[in-house]
Amino acid sequence: MGATGDLAHRKLIPALYNLGIDHLLPHGFSIVGFARQDHEHEDFRQDLRDAVNTYSRHGRTNAEVWNSFAEGLFFLQADFGDAKCYKQLADLLDRIDHERGTQGNCIYYLATPPTVISQITHMLGEAGLVTPSATGEHWTRIVVEKPFGFDLTSAQTLNRDLLQVFHEDQIYRIDHYLGKETVQNILVFRFANGLFEPIWNRSYVDSVQITVAEDLGIDRRGGYYEGAGALRDMVQSHMLQLLTLTAMEPPVALDANAVRDEKVKVLRAVVPFSEEAFSRNIVRGQYGPGWIGGKDVPGYRSEAGVNPESSTETYVALKTYVDNWRWAGVPFYLRHGKRLPKKETEIAVSFKRAPLALFQHLDANSMTPNVLAMRIQPDEGMSLKFVAKVPGQGIEIQPVHMDFLYGSSFARQSPEAYERLLHDVMLGDSTLFTRRDEVEAEWSIITPILQYWQGQQPSAFPNYAAGTWGPEAAAKLMSCDGRSWRQV
């Protein structure tokens, strides 16, 4: 559903084609595009070939793989509210089952705006297109794109609507950050190594910083972004997921429910913001015109589809706490912004300083604390900062880094996040998808902030120039605690 949209072109179809290249698609695998635009099967195939040529990590299509992939591509023009279209879908799926031997298993991928999810789900149920189970001889599953609702109440309603037709284990709420190699590696790093886990707690950790910086603006997504803003778009989903993976306890097993149980516990332990904390610990910003990578770029209010007096935030920085035995008192600082100087996603764990001030007579700046930085993207890898003696007479100390780079350690390209996630849906593994209680717990953290903001018009937007590291107030949030944002 939504097969002619941006996401299908940029991510979904190239990811499926890439799975084809890696021989990870089952025999007879077929795709039916179900969307509003009118297309013949053949136009649809050509359109998708262009998309794969542009966006696949393997570059231009290989004729043999493409031809076999394209044989399984079909298109049906649809009005999402019209029962007749679902009847036609049922007939087409039936025909494909017989002709291509797909045996009735079906995944519905909703790459559509959130407003039509409940309607489509209901119509699929009414048309008898949903099996009662997620496994067994015949199964159907549904994948729902983000944003999953726009606040707690709407997310709860969406969950209720979905659960009237599908079982929880048939529902795959996607958060593409969980499909990134480096994000999955957080758990491997933490729980497959004995070195860091003993010090991964309030006794040794001073603070944690999570940065998701983007140099891009909002592209052609003004219409969506105006109603979303940075808090909903990135913090509610991707950033809270990074926080849970960093803070969670070891799960009892590597299965979907065990992992998600631990993540939900972290979200539940996030301290609700008090009246005072709303204004002191959360900063929002909006970019004005500026300069990035040698080019002048317009301010947010001049982007297409944006209200010239918009008060939508394109930057958020906040401080929060995870109030449990492991993390009580350790601040977690999160920041995200559009049109910052560069794209960089990083989780940095800062450790407490050494207790004995043997070297206190030296330059205070040289005695920086140990920091473990997990670089999610780009330049995927990790780096551990510690201090070392500068060679020479006397004692001079300088920070140095121990680095791990994916690029040099592994001589193979990582799959795209969507490749991993789509493959997992086919296998029926929902570990990397968000469970019902998890998405609601995320919204429980975010919704009070949205409500608080609603009553407070942001003063002085725009408050940072494109190409800078965000508003002054974000730097102040840190300096009040005697800390500063990392230079990523």
Catalytic residues: 238
Our CB check for ligand BG6 shows the closer of 416 and 440 to be: 416
User: What is the size of the binding site for ligand BG6 (CB under 6 A)?
Assistant: 3
Site for ligand BG6 in 130-149 (CB under 6 A): 146
Q: CB of 224: closest distance to ligand BG6 in angstroms? A: 8
Give the three-class secondary structure for 34. Answer: strand
**In terms of Cα–Cα distance, which of 249, 255, 230, 301 is closest to 460?**
301
Our CB check for ligand BG6 shows the closer of 10 and 36 to be: 10
Distance CA 472, CA 455 (A): 22
Site for ligand BG6 in 267-306 (CB under 6 A): none
Q: CB of 236: closest distance to ligand BG6 in angstroms? A: 10
- 299-304: which pairs have CB atoms within 8 A and are 24 or more residues apart? 299/462, 299/466, 300/217, 300/218, 300/338, 300/339, 300/462, 301/462, 303/217, 303/218, 303/222, 304/220, 304/222
Q: CB of 92: closest distance to ligand BG6 in angstroms? A: 31
Phi, psi for residue 388 in degrees, rounded to 5: -140, 160
Single residue of 47, 181, 214, 416 touching ligand BG6 by CB under 6 A: 214
The residue with its CB nearest to ligand BG6 is: 233
Site for ligand BG6 contains 233 (CB under 6 A): yes
Our CB check for ligand BG6 shows the closer of 56 and 350 to be: 56
Site for ligand BG6 contains 181 (CB under 6 A): no
Site for ligand BG6 contains 419 (CB under 6 A): no
Q: CB of 307: closest distance to ligand BG6 in angstroms? A: 18
Is the CA virtual torsion 111, 107, 239, 404 positive or negative?
A: negative
Our CB check for ligand BG6 shows the closer of 52 and 213 to be: 213
Our CB check for ligand BG6 shows the closer of 3 and 212 to be: 212
Phi, psi for residue 381 in degrees, rounded to 5: 165, -160
Q: CB of 174: closest distance to ligand BG6 in angstroms? A: 10
Distance CA 264, CA 82 (A): 38
SS3 content of the chain, % helix, strand, coil (to 5): 40, 20, 40
Distance CA 12, CA 16 (A): 6
| Interface contacts to ligand BG6, rule CB under 6 A | 146, 214, 233
